[in-house]
Amino acid sequence: MNHPIHITTAIFYCNAAPHVGSAYEALMADCFARHQRRRRGRDRVSFLSGTDEHGDKIRRAALNQGRDPKAFTDELSEVFHQAFVGLNIDFDYWVRTTDPLHEQFVQRMLERTYQRGDIYFRDYEGLYCVDCERFYTEKELLPDNLCPTHNRPVELISEGNYFLRIDKYRERLLDHIRAHPDFIRPERYRNEALNMLAEPLADLCISRPKARMDWGIEVPFDHRYVTYVWYDAFWTYVSRPATASGDIDRYMREVFPHTEHFIGKDILKTHAVYWPPMIFAAGFDQLFSHLNVHGWLNFGGARMSKSSGNVRDPVSYEKAYGPDVLRYFLAREVVYGLDGDFSDERIIERYNADLANDLGNFTSRVLTMAQRYLGGELTRAPDIADPDTDGRLAASCADLNDRVGALVDGLAMNRALEAIWQALDAANKYIAATAPFSLARDPAQLPRVAQILSNALEALRVIADSLEPFMPVTAGRIFDLLEVPAAMAPQPYGHGLRAGHRVKPPVSLFPRIEKPRV
């Protein structure tokens, strides 16, 4: 069924500029979204991201610079937005938690939940991490009351606050996870979530008194309080599209169940344990489709994060190596769900081996020969004249899009690219085995040369089309060189290029990078 699908990244915390770790999440979600658009059509897929701008951590960061929190987040949200635009991440919605429409939506959800009796007030004393924006129990902390995520001391806070009943929905959530084995994926994170839900849950504090922290959305039933940042941020996933639909309840019933959340493993608990009860407590009966959880990127043996200062600017890689290189490296090198290692040396190795040698050289060779031997015009349609050589090439490209798509559906981005490179390897071996550059010395062999080059160019078209979700700029450049219109790009092997089709002379897609000498 071609139902609509909604894809989200986590809402990025707006206290510092984005780094490669945050770009990884957005880039993988973008690959997934581009694949879904190809399958379903652009109008059946929505892709959302944005910035999380409220809370004590943001307020303190702004005040430390002597700035107003709104001006501070205005600037940083735009930094995030422009960085992702520069990485060719194709969002349909960019939502800020300070957007008036979003603030009104959150207040509506608060009021709705309060009227249902699932929000109540009580005095509370707890151990609070400013960086996590959450309270911890003593058993969750490291020795000396250190936050397990940030390795910093938590603060003891005593105050009255509003709480959301979440244990009320624990069994219902457990039943859902058990009935939908791939609800949280990869499976290791499903098992972690089940462990988190194995014991009764403490109700969730969802407010802060304005007397202590006023940078947030005002609670509609008590003007002395603002809502807790996580409650605010979760509704970002639906506030804009649900409001735009004109019927929030219908949207939550018909579209939201087909939502794909992409998040990092550090926020598994908030999304697997807190977010579903918020949905149920607001009176909505259905949960999202999948929680797709990725690991961390490590640089120099340590996790890449803003809090540690161990970060790399993703846009700098786009400028240094050209479009698509960073997204290709991350998708090919990192197994989704596991931690991955990131280094400049490894990027250069992948660039030279995979992009300059394999893809770039093949593209240049076949286009050069097409100009030299055919004057840039195909004289034969792709065909299997030789069942051995031509047949192997055709088999390597047959159903490539379907094979790649199935792997992307399962979040196996690295294996999808391996499948594409297997087809590219077959195409390179085809040129070596048929040797059109040698055959062309004999005028009697020129018809066979024409057939070989038509087959090779057709393989390049299919490979470029399969590569589009991962390397959209590169795929577009290859289509331009092949003079392939949009309608021809997704056609199966053998149903694209025709006799009489003209191609352009080659350009260098990926000039080789020489490693600096030590």
255-265 pLDDT, tens per residue? 999 999 999 99
What pLDDT score was predicted for residue 372?
A: 97
Confidence band for 130, pLDDT divided at 50, 70 and 90? confident
Q: How far apart are the first and last CA of the chain?
A: 57
pLDDT confidence of residue 311 = 57
Mean pLDDT of 114-127: 92
Q: 353 and 245, same structural domain?
A: no
| CATH number of residue 410's parent domain | 1.10.730.10
Residue 192 lies in a domain: no
CA 455 to chain centre: 34
- The answer to the question of residue 497 being in a domain is no
Are residues 411 and 288 both part of a single domain?
A: no
Whether residue 506 is preceded by a cis peptide bond, meaning omega within 30 degrees of 0, is no
pLDDT band for 128, please (50, 70, 90 cuts). Answer: confident
pLDDT given at position 298: 86
Q: Are residues 401 and 477 in the same domain?
A: yes
pTM of the model: 0.91
Mean pLDDT of 177-195: 97
Q: How far is CA 292 from CA 7, 124, 263, 394, in A?
A: 10, 33, 6, 34
pLDDT in the model for residue 518 = 41
* Percentage of the residues of the chain whose pLDDT score is greater than 70: 97
How far apart, in whole angstroms, are the C-alpha atoms of residue 413 and residue 400?
14
Q: Per-residue confidence at 303, pLDDT binned at 50, 70, 90?
A: low
Report the SS3 class of residue 458: helix
CATH number of the CATH domain containing 89: 3.40.50.620
Higher pLDDT, 482 or 155: 482
Domain count, the chain: 2
Residue 219 domain flag:
no
- Asked if residue 363 and residue 295 are part of one domain, the reply reads no
Q: Is the pLDDT of residue 471 over 90?
A: yes
% of the chain at pLDDT higher than 90:
81
| 174 is a domain residue | yes
Mean model confidence pLDDT for the chain: 93
Asked whether residue 287 falls in the same domain as residue 429, the answer is no
Pairing of strands 93-96, 45-52: parallel
Residue 475 lies in a domain: yes
Question: Is 286 inside a domain boundary?
Answer: yes
In a domain, 94, yes or no: yes
Domain holding 361, by residue range, is 344-482
Kindly tell me if the per-residue pLDDT of 29 is higher than 90.
yes
Bridge partner residues of 342 (DSSP): 299
Q: Which residues pair with 163 in a beta bridge?
A: 120, 205
Pair (261, 312) in one structural domain: yes
Alpha-carbon Rg for the chain in angstroms: 26
Residues 273 and 359 in one domain: no
504 or 305, which is more confident: 504
Worst-scoring range by mean pLDDT, 97-111, 127-141, 221-235, 318-332? 127-141
Same domain membership, residue 352 and residue 317: no
Do 17 and 84 lie in one domain? The reply is yes
Task: Please report the pLDDT score of residue 516 as a whole number.
Answer: 61
Tens digits of residue pLDDT in 210-227: 988 889 999 999 999 999
Does 35 reside within a domain? yes
pLDDT in tens, 36-66: 999 999 999 999 999 999 988 889 888 999 9
